[in-house]
Amino acid sequence: MVRISDGRMSGTAAGTIVLHVTPESAIGGPLAIVRTGDRIRLSVAKRSIELLVSDDEIAARLAALPPREAEPDARGYRKLFLTTITQADEGCDFDFLKATRTVATVPGNKL
């Protein structure tokens, strides 16, 4: 069994699993256009995944996606989450909490 997801998964302990496809389908990521019956080529060795659908069909599906509507009334934590949370490949955290790498230097030592 192969499972492909743009979210969190628990309870699956066997088979090939592709997690955290980004960007998420909720914001128009690639999983948003996959349909039941589509064939997908997955190569673990090549670290690749390919939707076996024509370029024209992919373009048509992308064009048919409903526009993502802003939530002008969102406030508080919901607004903060919607406007600043990062995708899974970036840690699923608030963008303003992203660590910045600094290297401390000690006089006379090379790091």
Identity (one letter) of the amino acid at 1? Answer: M
Q: Among this protein's residues, is 25 annotated catalytic?
A: no
3-state SS of 59-83 is HHHHHHCCCCCCCCCCCHHHHHHHH
d(CA 44, CA 15): 12
d(CA 48, CA 24): 17
Which of 10, 43, 48, 54 is an active site residue? 10
Phi, psi for residue 70 in degrees, rounded to 5 = -70, 155
Alpha-carbon Rg for the chain, nearest whole angstrom, is 19
Residues recognised as catalytic: 10
